[in-house]
Amino acid sequence: MSDEQMKVQIKNLYKIFGSNPKAMVEKVQGGMGKPELLEKHGHVLGLKDINLDIPARKVQVIMGLSGSGKSTLIRHINRLIEPTAGEMIVDGEDVLSMNDNDLREFRRKKASMVFQKFALLPHRTVAENAAYGLTIQNIPTSEAMSRSQKWIDRVGLSGFENHYPAQLSGGMQQRVGLARALATDAEILLMDEAFSALDPLIRTDMQNVMLDLQEELHKTIIFITHDLDEALRIGDNIAILRDGSMVQEGSPQQIVLDPADDYVSDFIKDINRGRVLEVGSVMHAKPPAKGPELEASTVLEEAMQVLVSSKIKEAIVVRDGKKVGGLSMEDCVKAMARTQGRSEGSSAYT
Amino acid sequence: MSFFTEFPVMERESLRDLKKAIDSTFRDFTRENGELIEALFDPLKDFLLWFQKILLATPWPIMILIFCGLAWLGSRSWKMVVGTAIAFLLIGYFDMWEDTMVTTAMVSVATVLCIAIGIPVGVAMARSDRIQAVITPILDIMQTIPSFVYLIPVVMLLGIGKAPALIAVMIYAIPPIVRLTNLGIRLVQADVLEAADSFGASYRQRLFGVQIPLALPNIFAGVNQTIMMALAMVVIAALIGGSGLGTPVLRAVNNQYLALGVFNGMAIVALAIIFDRVSQAYGKRLQKHREGGHGV
Ligand SMILES: Nc1ncnc2c1ncn2[C@@H]1O[C@H](COP(=O)(O)OP(=O)(O)OP(=O)(O)O)[C@@H](O)[C@H]1O
Ligand SMILES: [Mg+2]
């Protein structure tokens, strides 16, 4: 993809916490790791040489264990955190060179954020919270209210406009958080573990709300999670962080089929591969002459059902109406079997 | 060995000279600038006298209605309103109405000025650790130094009268509102502020839209304490011309009039209870939004 289609470009981004972070960049570039940097120099390595291009109108998931730097990374996009070194380009514009005014304008119009702990204003009602981003832009209250009302309705909170956040359940509070972020019509949505504080049923609920909205709005969403099921469900692309470095980046299919190392393998070891892997990414090249037809985007679980109940044990894989490959039961079984990652053997990655 | 048994004091002569030098310097300063400084505080005195005159000129039934109305607005409790009415009726019946109005004027004006000065100072302290480091020890001194000590320079500069009394009250009463404004703002949760930042809030939008509203319960506790401390200074203020309920108390102390002292003392207590309960109830109502079915 060319640069033009990239909404957010992160280049050689470093973040080091401590009293003299600039001086530490060289040490990190020289290969010093997070524990050593902390022990020898008392600085915390937040992010190390992050390069990531995020395409427009897609959902980019960022994953990693606790402390791997996810929150730090997402806060660089709207510059809530200043990097120690590196570049942050959004829509071709350098966020780091913006002055205070430009930056405020950028945060008001370009990128809005949803927080793990909701971070609603406790002294304002649901309606006022949803309209917050608009009132910050000095839009008159009545207009702000009517514009945000649409989003309150969309996230299913009609009737709760005059409640205070403390009177709502966690799931409902995060709906307010989502409405508040959507109300400014920003093209970029930054979601830092937005659903992590919710229990599983409510979480699935919220994922559905978000996916429905995305189908219609096509925002550029940067979504942080440490839950792989969530990542696979909503991500068009997944980047995996570990101790501040990016260890792998790619489509969900790539990550499940070809984990870069044991850290990533560990992440994906418990998922139901049959429900994630698609026929298109496990087929062999030559389609058979005859057989049942399968869309390339069919998941393996369904494909295997088709193969089992069909007389011919090899299927024709079709993408955009063209025959692109063949799929046998053996392909399926191979793909379903767990791979151990590229670095075979020991799983002592820590 | 006398070094260990007797403290090596400064020579008597030099000590006397030092004190003399300080006194004469300050006296010269007063002589030269006294009038100017007095003129500076004149508007303050005029404002206080104007307010006092209004309280005294308003017929007492109307004043009692106003007090009851304020009690209702603050506390929304009929008990408070009835209690206020009874307290003021008794005060009037025991012939302390005028002194009470004078004291009420003094305490109200002092409180309003403390709020007007104290909240901005508290906001500045919350904004910068350096300002906090400078102001905190000043507040500590203001709160611990015996009030009689700062009465001396105040009286030297301004003489006896309403203005020095008001200033003495304010020096004593302003620290809590400053401290609690600072504390309240510093206690505002970082994640809510981060959310405000992420939507592009300016410094003013942050301050007036998030920090001050969320600090209000603390700020209000500060206002409440400031009122209480202003009332506590009423008797000392009377020493330097504050008049009001403190004057008869002083007279009672000097002449051993038990009843006079107790009656006026009770009037001060009644004022304190009313101010305290009403402002606390109001402070609580400000936090209504914190209550909810799901804790917080
Ligand atoms: N202000 C700070 N000062 C010092 N170290 C920090 C600071 N903020 C973050 N860190 C460190 O940076 C690392 C990354 O933190 P970050 O909050 O980005 O992790 P995370 O991936 O979001 O974790 P979690 O899943 O727990 O939210 C951690 O080691 C953390 O201790
Ligand atoms: Mg985090």
Residue B15 has what pLDDT? Answer: 92
pLDDT one-digit tens code per residue, A6-46: 899 999 999 999 999 999 999 999 988 899 999 999 999 99
Find out whether A126 and A163 touch, Cβ atoms under 8 Å.
Answer: yes
Contact A80, B198 (CB under 8 A): yes
Residue A266: per-residue pLDDT = 87
Which tens digits make up the pLDDT trace of B146-187? 989 989 989 988 889 999 999 999 999 999 999 999 999 999
Assigned domain for B6 exists: no
Q: How far apart are CA B252 and CA B254, in angstroms?
A: 5
Q: Record the tokens describing residue B279, joined without a space.
A: 């402002």
E strand segments, A18-149: 44-55, 59-64, 85-90, 93-94, 111-114
- pLDDT digits 0-9 by tens, A285-319: 999 988 899 999 999 999 999 999 988 889 999 99
* Token couple for A333: 């079984």
In 3-state terms, what secondary structure has residue A320?
coil
The domain ranges of chain A are: 56-84+99-250, 274-344
With respect to residue B93, please indicate whether it lies within any of the assigned structural domains.
Answer: yes
pTM score, whole prediction: 0.87
Angle between helices B12-57 and B97-127 (to 10 degrees): 120
**Assigned domain for B23 exists:** no
CA distance A69 to A62: 10
User: Up-side HSE of residue A24: CA atoms within 13 Å toward CB?
Assistant: 27
**pLDDT tens digits, residue range A166-206?**
999 999 999 999 999 999 999 999 999 999 989 999 999 99
Cβ atoms of residues A259 and A227 within 8 Å: no
CATH number for the domain running over A274-344: 3.90.1280.20
Position B169 in a domain: yes
Instruction: Quote the domain boundaries for residue B146.
Output: 42-295
What is the tally of structural domains in chain B? 1
Token code pair at residue A340: 């151990």
Q: Is residue A66 lining ligand 1, measured as CB closer than 6 Å?
A: yes
Angle subtended by helix axes B78-93 and B97-127, to nearest 10: 130
Q: What is the CATH number of the domain that holds B77?
A: 1.10.3720.10
Find out whether B109 and B47 touch, Cβ atoms under 8 Å: yes
The single residue listed with the structure tokens 């600090």 is B215
Give the helix/strand (H/E) hosting B269: helix B258-286
In this chain, the answer to whether the domains covering A56-84+99-250 and A274-344 adopt an identical fold is: no
Q: Is A38 in the pocket of ligand 1 (CB under 6 A)?
A: no
- Supply φ then ψ for residue A45, to 5 degrees: -80, 110
For residue B191, give the nearest of A78, A117, A165 by CB distance: A117
Q: Is B187 on the interface with A (CB under 8 A)?
A: no
Q: Which residue of B has its CA nearest to A123?
A: B289
Query: Nearest chain B Cα to A77, which residue?
Result: B198
Instruction: Report how far apart, in Å, the C-alpha atoms of A196 and of each of A193, A223, A225, B43 are.
Output: 5, 11, 7, 60
Q: Give the residue on B whose Cα is nearest the Cα of A120.
A: B192
For residue B270, is it within any domain? yes
pLDDT in tens, A198-228: 999 999 999 999 999 999 999 999 999 998 9
Q: Name the DSSP letter for residue A278.
A: B
Q: Which helix (H) or strand (E) holds B263?
A: helix B258-286
Judged by CB atoms closer than 8 Å, whether chains meet at A168 and B191 is answered as no
How far is C-alpha B289 from the chain's CA centre? 29
Sheet holding A59-64, edge to edge: A111-114, A188-192, A220-225, A59-64, A237-242, A245-250
Helix residue ranges, H only, B6-59? 12-57
Residue B35 inside a domain? The answer is: no
Structure tokens at A339: 């791979």
Question: Is residue A185 less than 8 Å (CB to CB) from chain B?
Answer: no
Q: What is the distance in angstroms between the Cα of B193 and the nearest Cα belonging to chain A?
A: 8
Tell me: domain A56-84+99-250, CATH 3.40.50.300, correct?
yes
- Distance, CA of A182 to CA of A205 (rounded, Å): 18
Is the model's pLDDT at A344 over the cut of 50?
Answer: no
Q: How remote is the CA of residue A204 from the centroid of ligand 2, in Å?
A: 20
Q: CA B67 from chain center: how many Å?
A: 20
For the sheet containing A322-328, what is the strand order?
Answer: A293-295, A314-319, A322-328
Query: Does B290 contact A at CB distance below 8 Å?
Result: yes
